[in-house]
Amino acid sequence: MPWHRACLQGSEINIFMVTDAKCQQTPTKIKIATRKSKLALWQANFVKSLLEKKYSDITVELIGVVTEGDQQSTIPLADVGGKALFVKALQNALLSNEADIAVHSMKDMSVFPTEKLMIAAICERADARDAFVSNDYSEIESLPLNAIVGTASPRRSCLLQSIRPDVRIALLRGNVDTRVAKLDAKRFDAIILAAAGLHRLDLSSRIQSYLSDDIFIPAIGQGAIAIECRESDAQLQERLSFLHHDITAQCVKAERMINQIMGGDCHSAIGAHAKIIKNKMHIAAMVGSVDGKIILREQAECEVNDAVQCAETVAKNLLSQGAEKLLRA
């Protein structure tokens, strides 16, 4: 059982929690591991500013980390290890005590926990929708015949081609500003990006139209920020608790449950989105072929307290329709 001990430091007596016979003092400096992209730094600085505003007794430092996903930006993610490439280096910084917390895009996080680490908080979700970005066209339907659209996402490729089978998909990777620059260089007629990232980087003016989250179902966790730390850092977890947004967390948990049951990966055209409307949780999910010729959809509404069971039902219904074959294609 946890207990308390008085520790004498100079002329002061500090009282703090002791767990497993170890004296854990409330942290006065928090080091945040983050990728170095503009969006990642925005997210890390967002968390930093909230911590500094809440706690006047701490200093917060950003630790920039170059991930393997950043280094291999010209190859499809699925061919080099998937979204885990954006996460692993940050987690290693936590495990080696180089950093105290890591700030991630929730959609990059594996549905399976990493040993000795935990998601301590999920911040309130921003816009979860995808955005249509183009210099010449206002929406998907207005694209010319055989238009070239940039994306690296199997889900976006699937949904886009289900609407416009004539569209040609071209690989588009890199940071948000890099992708927009490639559009401006006339390499694409349009690109599809997460609306949240564009908003955070003050690029909302580049959005021509938003794609409905009921039809163009977002990636799991899209728009949410995850804060990860060591399981053993109980005092730090307490300090991070004010950042946790319960409604967002419940929705993300339902989405991640669907993917966990179905076993989707970076090769999969899979999406799931949960939202709470009038105290009811609405869950929509899809699985399809990357070429968009086949799309299976499932949706459900339930009490918020029943979200996990509802998500399980959605996943099982998709599997009963043949989703596993599409996921393994």
pLDDT top residue among 85 and 94: 94
pLDDT top residue among 76 and 235: 235
Full-model pTM: 0.87
Q: Going by DSSP bridges, is the β-strand pair 148-150/295-303 parallel, antiparallel, or unpaired?
A: unpaired
pLDDT top residue among 260 and 79: 260
In this prediction, residue 307 has a pLDDT band, given cuts at 50, 70 and 90, of very high
pLDDT at 4 (0 to 100): 37
Superfamily of domain 245-328: Porphobilinogen deaminase, C-terminal domain (3.30.160.40)
pLDDT at 75 (0 to 100): 55
In this prediction, residue 15 has a pLDDT band, given cuts at 50, 70 and 90, of very low
Cβ 292 vs Cβ 158: under 8 Å: yes
Query: Would the pLDDT of 167 be above 50?
Result: yes
pLDDT top residue among 69 and 260: 260
pLDDT at 329 (0 to 100): 75
Residue 256 belongs to what H/E stretch? helix 246-262
β-bridge mates for residue 282, sequence order = 275, 301
Buried residues in 217-240 as b, exposed as e (16+ CB within 10 A): bbbbbbbbbbbbbbeebbebbebb
pLDDT at 266 (0 to 100): 82
Query: Would the pLDDT of 22 be above 70?
Result: no
Cβ atoms within 10 Å of 20's Cβ, excluding its own: 8
Distance of alpha carbon 9 from alpha carbon 54, whole angstroms: 25
pLDDT top residue among 33 and 264: 33
Q: Which fold has domain 27-123+224-244?
A: D-Maltodextrin-Binding Protein; domain 2 (3.40.190)
Query: Would the pLDDT of 265 be above 90?
Result: no
Cβ atoms within 10 Å of 157's Cβ, excluding its own: 22
pLDDT at 236 (0 to 100): 97
Cβ 207 vs Cβ 133: under 8 Å: yes
pLDDT at 17 (0 to 100): 36
Residue type, 251: C
Query: Would the pLDDT of 9 be above 50?
Result: no
- The domains of the chain are located at 27-123+224-244, 130-210, 245-328
Q: From 3.90.15.10, 3.30.1330.40, 3.30.70.100, 3.40.190.10, which CATH number describes the 130-210 domain?
A: 3.40.190.10
User: Which of 20, 57, 79, 108 is labelled catalytic?
Assistant: 108
**In the annotation, is 246 catalytic?**
no
Query: Would the pLDDT of 118 be above 90?
Result: yes
Q: Answer yes or no: same fold for 27-123+224-244 and 130-210.
A: yes
At 54-64, the pLDDT tens digits run 999 999 999 99
In this prediction, residue 27 has a pLDDT band, given cuts at 50, 70 and 90, of confident
- Angle between the 246-262 and 307-320 helix axes, to the nearest 10 degrees? 30
Kindly report which listed range (26-35, 80-89, 121-130, 207-216) carries the lowest average pLDDT score.
Answer: 80-89
Strand-by-strand arrangement of the 148-150 sheet:
168-170, 148-150, 190-194, 130-133, 207-211
Distance of alpha carbon 288 from alpha carbon 155, whole angstroms: 8
Cα-based distances in Å from 243 to 54, 226, 229, 307: 10, 10, 13, 22
In this prediction, residue 69 has a pLDDT band, given cuts at 50, 70 and 90, of low
State what percent of residues in the chain have pLDDT above 90.
Answer: 82
Cβ atoms within 10 Å of 54's Cβ, excluding its own: 12
In this prediction, residue 25 has a pLDDT band, given cuts at 50, 70 and 90, of low
Query: Would the pLDDT of 21 be above 80?
Result: no
Judge residue 260's burial from the number of C-beta atoms within 10 Å of its C-beta, 0-12 exposed, 13-18 middle, 19 or more buried. Answer: middle
pLDDT top residue among 115 and 13: 115
pLDDT at 1 (0 to 100): 37
Task: Summarize the confidence of residues 46-61 as an average pLDDT.
Answer: 97
Query: Would the pLDDT of 19 be above 80?
Result: no
Query: Would the pLDDT of 24 be above 60?
Result: no
- Angle between the 38-54 and 176-184 helix axes, to the nearest 10 degrees? 140
